[in-house]
Structure 1
């Protein structure tokens, strides 16, 4: 069975004890934070290796590294084949800095996008700008509702129901 399936079966289990799942995620988030802190020290360096080599490098188990690779995948310059990866699969952690920051904001992972290592990569204004861009990209703007007796938005002066709303 591919590593990613094992990770997702374990981390998103419907049948697991809720306390065990909470402990798994609490432990995972701490390790994830440490890995990102290391990666962000040299953000332009592309870290490569097998899943096992990277797990050893960052002092985590294979499943934690698999979860990390699953999480960072959308922020990579070149996506890894995470669906089929095994321990000996070579993967890259070459990430797009702006995309990674925005994805951390989208995931509401304040423990990640507030890491002090970001201060060396982007100044405060740039971080605020990226934060705002990400938040605004998820905002849905609904057009104001037009009721039958409202003036038609075309400017004809007629009621909507007698103008463009006639066939609605």
Structure 2
């Protein structure tokens, strides 16, 4: 069984809310520390054996695959997670802007709020990414034509007597 399948099975086997909270409390702390190390190194490239990378980040290999699953959309080229084993050698390059964007999208304040982001982007750049993200999520409603408004076709009639029939 692949590590990615094990990760998904572990998630499916969580039965109670308490188990869920305990599992993700531990995992999220490890995930944050993993991102912290990456941001401190200022290197967008993650390379090495899965087992070595997981030990370096104080995670099990399965947890590290879970980390890669979360970061997969932020890599310049996505990884085939199903094919990864403990002995697999991987090389992946993060796109910093996409990573920060995806952290906002996941509503992961504990990740996009890290001070270590100042090593990568200045405050203005981070604010611009946040602003662009917020704009992309805004819904702009079209102006609705009222029944008694003039028809937009230009006939001069009321909408209800013209195109609104």
Residues 99 and 45 of structure 1: is their aligned pair in 2 closer, same or farther, counting only changes over 3 Å?
A: closer
Give unmatched runs, 5+ long, in structure 2.
none
- Alpha-carbon spacing, 1:109–1:45, altered in 2? closer, same or farther (3 Å): closer
Give me the whole-angstrom Cα distance separating, in 1, the residues matched to 2:116 and 2:82: 30
Q: Report the aligned-residue RMSD.
A: 1.8
1:23-38 paired onto structure 2 within 5 Å = 23-38=22-37
- Could you say what secondary structure the match of 1:22 adopts? helix
In the alignment, does 2:153 pair up with 1:160? no
Bigger mean CA deviation after superposition, 127-136 or 25-34: 127-136
- Between stretches 138-147 and 70-79, larger displacement belongs to 138-147
Instruction: Give the Cα–Cα distance (whole angstroms) in 2 for the partners of residues 108 and 71 of structure 1.
Output: 13
Which residue of the partner structure matches residue 148 of structure 2? Answer: 149
SS where residue 115 of structure 2 aligns?
A: coil
Which position in structure 1 is the counterpart of 2:62? 63
Question: Which residue does the alignment assign to 2:76?
Answer: 77
Structure 1: tracts of 5 or more residues without a match: none
Structure 2 CA distance, aligned partners of 1:10 and 1:165?
56
Q: How does 1:96-107 map to 2 (within 5 A)?
A: 96-107=95-106
Structure 1 residues 86-111: Cα deviation after superposition (integer angstroms, max 9, x where no partner): 22222234100100001001111011
What is the rounded CA distance, in whole Å, between the counterparts of 2:33 and 2:145 in structure 1? 52
> 1:45, CA displacement in angstroms?
4.3
Measured after TM superposition, the shift of residue 49 of structure 1 is: 1.6
Post-superposition shift, 1:155?
4.3
Name the counterpart of 1:4.
4
TM-superposed CA distance for 1:158, in Å, is 2.0
Rounded Cα–Cα distance in structure 2 between residues aligned with 1:42 and 1:93: 15
Change (3 A) 1:144 1:51: same
User: Do the aligned partners of 2:7 and 2:65 also contact (CA within 8 Å) in 1?
Assistant: yes
SS across alignment from 1:39: helix
Offset at 1:153?
3.0
Q: Could you say what secondary structure the match of 2:93 adopts?
A: coil
Q: Which secondary structure does the structure 1 equivalent of 2:20 belong to?
A: helix
- The question of 1:53 aligning with 2:52 is answered yes
8 Å Cα contact 2:42/2:119 also seen in 1: no
